[in-house]
Amino acid sequence: MCVRISDLREDLNLLSSWEERFEYVIDLGKDLPAFPENRKTEEYRVRGCMSRVWVYPRWEETDNTRVFRLLVESDSAIVKGLAAVLVMRYDGVPEADLPEDSSDGLFSELGFAEHISPSRRNGLAALEGRIRSFIDG
């Protein structure tokens, strides 16, 4: 995924309607790397989401640095797009630089918090909770 959070902010500011913004986010989800079929199991499924969501977090050593890697999948296009924002925030980040706060502020800043349903917000919180529990594990 080559879009960064700073680029996402700029791109969203260029779009005039929420329909366009959600289409953009859905496209982000379509651009996520393929999720391994053998990881679509209960072990990787995120509880608390109305949609089916899987998360595959792992550590990778790169140049003697521990880097967090993250793949997500959902059967809902909008959820997958919103999950792509979490992938932007966490994937490929060295362990020492991983954010410690939740993404609530980011989703509010981007304007999504007020435009997604409480159940979707709860699902995103559950997804991020799984990500954080792996990182903090």
74 phi/psi in degrees, rounded to 5: -150, 155
Q: Does the annotation mark 2 as catalytic?
A: no
Q: How far apart are the two ends of the chain, measured CA to CA in Å? A: 25
Q: What is the CA radius of gyration of the chain?
A: 14
41 phi/psi in degrees, rounded to 5: -125, 170
Give the tokens for residue 104. Answer: 């609530």
Active-site residue identified among 28, 32, 49, 79: 49
Report, as residue numbers or ranges, the catalytic residues.
49
